[in-house]
Amino acid sequence: MSKFAIIGCGFVADLYMGSFRTMPEAEIVGVYDLDHARLKTFCDHWNLKAMESREALFEALPEGGIVLNLTNPDAHFAVSSAALEAGFHVYSEKPLATRMDDARALHALAGEKGLLLASAPCSVLGETAQTLARAVRKGVAGTPRLVYAELDDGFISQAPYDKWTSESGAPWPAEDEFRVGCTLEHAGYYLTWLMAMFGPVKTVVAASATVVPGKVPGEETAPDVSIATLFFEGGMVARLTCTIVAPHDHQIRVVGDKGTLAVKEAWNNAAPVKFHRRFTLRRRLVDMPVGRKVRLDTKETHPKVGRWGAASMNFALGPMEMLQALTEGRDCRLSADFALHLNEVTLAIQGAGAHSGAQEMTTRCELMEPMPWAG
Ligand SMILES: NC(=O)c1ccc[n+]([C@@H]2O[C@H](COP(=O)([O-])OP(=O)(O)OC[C@H]3O[C@@H](n4cnc5c(N)ncnc54)[C@H](O)[C@@H]3O)[C@@H](O)[C@H]2O)c1
């Protein structure tokens, strides 16, 4: 039986539990949250054991267990450090840490202790991302030359977000989201896919800005717009856009010599991957307007979850892959190196401002192994 402990049971914790429903082999030994009322509501809803302190939770988790750090980004470093110090593997919600020094310290601590450390998002392990990566590997669109990836969420500050609640009733933490910023919150959804397909980023040339002030009264919040050009070590170039201002657009397009591979939804593990072949028609150059669906060789991939709010992603894919890695005595696909590099690139984009110029990355990660069913 696989053992997990949860720290932080707000909005996203319900999405994890909805995902764990599809993987009944996972056992959650207990939950802890600083907010005791929230802890009780969550544990009553999911029939889980509420622990009175973090120490009590660590007592209850057997050796070799995994701590799921689902706290707010500002608490990630302290909670993950404590879990690693206590001898547990850690799967953290994104970002690994809000400061690069802290992320490096976590990476070093996990290394010293011989523990696994991973950070979300895990949609890169899902069917759509794996299908896209396989199509790139197989050269479906010829040699890839350029990627455009958009994570535009619409003009969120005008959305009725006070009506957004999770299954057990946690409010969507709007102020925290605005303080942390859409780049730290969301860039990883496509950065992970890009890193899995093209390896580490060598240079980031980016700009970021806050174009809608006043989202949290009396406070200057994090950038709500970032636009990055990413130069990968292997030569690929990608543009990544992240905003909570521009109209909703979650497309990723990989442009190759023979046409374009396109996905329209980042947050749906089952979104179709389409190939739009390029051809000439008399004097015109045309990308086929209706794409051909690209498929894997198998339909046996992973359990899917229904849509809640904006997402239909299985949040348990990452934790369960970590568990599988432990069983097989190998590193997990969302490795500590991968998490650290993701953190560095994300912070470089978020912090770019108006004048950062080219930022050379100092961390590296291996090209990710495909999931066994997507080879
Ligand atoms: N809201 C979403 O749609 C969403 C989606 C995907 C990922 N995430 C990520 O999930 C994480 C949590 O976000 P959320 O939306 O659930 O936030 P939330 O505010 O709803 O929940 C966070 C919970 O963590 C608890 N907490 C904070 N510090 C703690 C500590 N030191 N010890 C114990 N408990 C602590 C808080 O009391 C709160 O209940 C963030 O990293 C966020 O980026 C959120």
Ligand 1 center to 255 CA (angstroms) = 36
Sheet holding 2-7, edge to edge: 26-32, 2-7, 66-69, 89-92, 117-119
Is 168 touching ligand 1 by the criterion CB < 6 Å?
no
Is 14 touching ligand 1 by the criterion CB < 6 Å?
no
**Strand pairing of 237-243 and 89-92?**
unpaired
The CA distance from 283 to 142, in Å, is: 22
The CA distance from 119 to 97, in Å, is: 9
Nearest Cα neighbor of 123 from 248, 310, 284, 366 is 310
What distances in angstroms separate CA 174 from CA 158, 165, 215, 357, 359, one per listed residue? Answer: 11, 11, 9, 31, 30
Pocket test for ligand 1, best of 45, 55, 72 (most atoms within 8 A of CB): 72
Torsion of CA 164, 165, 170, 176, to 10 degrees: -20
Q: How far apart are the first and last CA of the chain?
A: 28
Nearest Cα neighbor of 206 from 223, 185, 193 is 223
User: Read out DSSP for 265-312?
Assistant: -SSBTTPPEEEEEEEEETTEEEE-SSPEEP--S-S--------BTTBB
Ligand 1 center to 327 CA (angstroms) = 28
Instruction: Give pLDDT, residue 15.
Output: 98
Is 11 touching ligand 1 by the criterion CB < 6 Å?
yes
Is 10 touching ligand 1 by the criterion CB < 6 Å?
yes
Is 170 touching ligand 1 by the criterion CB < 6 Å?
yes
Is 12 touching ligand 1 by the criterion CB < 6 Å?
yes
Residue count of the chain, please give it.
Answer: 375
Instruction: Give pLDDT, residue 2.
Output: 63
Instruction: Ligand 1, residue 170: give the atom nearest the CA.
Output: 20
Q: What is the largest CA-CA distance in the chain?
A: 73
Is 188 touching ligand 1 by the criterion CB < 6 Å?
no
Instruction: Give pLDDT, residue 360.
Output: 98
Ligand 1 center to 93 CA (angstroms) = 8
Q: Do residues 14 and 166 lie in contact, with contact meaning Cβ atoms separated by under 8 Å?
A: yes
Is 176 touching ligand 1 by the criterion CB < 6 Å?
yes
What distances in angstroms separate CA 344 from CA 69, 97, 114, 152, 353, one per listed residue? Answer: 19, 10, 22, 21, 15
The CA distance from 13 to 6, in Å, is: 8
Q: Do residues 80 and 90 lie in contact, with contact meaning Cβ atoms separated by under 8 Å?
A: yes
Q: Which domains does the chain have, with CATH numbers?
A: 2-119 (3.40.50.720), 125-297+336-374 (3.30.360.10)
- The amino acid sitting at 60 is A
Q: Do residues 5 and 28 lie in contact, with contact meaning Cβ atoms separated by under 8 Å?
A: yes
Pocket test for ligand 1, best of 71, 80, 168, 178 (most atoms within 8 A of CB): 71
Is 181 touching ligand 1 by the criterion CB < 6 Å?
no
Phi, psi of 86 (to 5 degrees): -80, -5
The CA distance from 183 to 170, in Å, is: 23
Using CA positions, which residue lies closest to atom 4 of ligand 1? 12
Pocket test for ligand 1, best of 9, 11, 179 (most atoms within 8 A of CB): 11
Ligand 1 center to 137 CA (angstroms) = 36
Instruction: Give pLDDT, residue 50.
Output: 98
Element (H, E) at 202: strand 201-209
Q: List, run by run, the mean pLDDT of 10-residue segments along the chain (375 residues).
A: 89 98 94 98 98 98 97 98 98 98 98 98 98 98 98 98 97 98 98 98 98 96 98 98 98 98 98 98 96 97 93 97 96 98 98 97 96 96
Is 94 touching ligand 1 by the criterion CB < 6 Å?
yes
Instruction: Ligand 1, residue 38: give the atom nearest the CA.
Output: 39
The CA distance from 311 to 295, in Å, is: 22
Using CA positions, which residue lies closest to atom 15 of ligand 1? 11
The CA distance from 215 to 226, in Å, is: 17
Is 35 touching ligand 1 by the criterion CB < 6 Å?
yes
Instruction: Ligand 1, residue 39: give the atom nearest the CA.
Output: 39
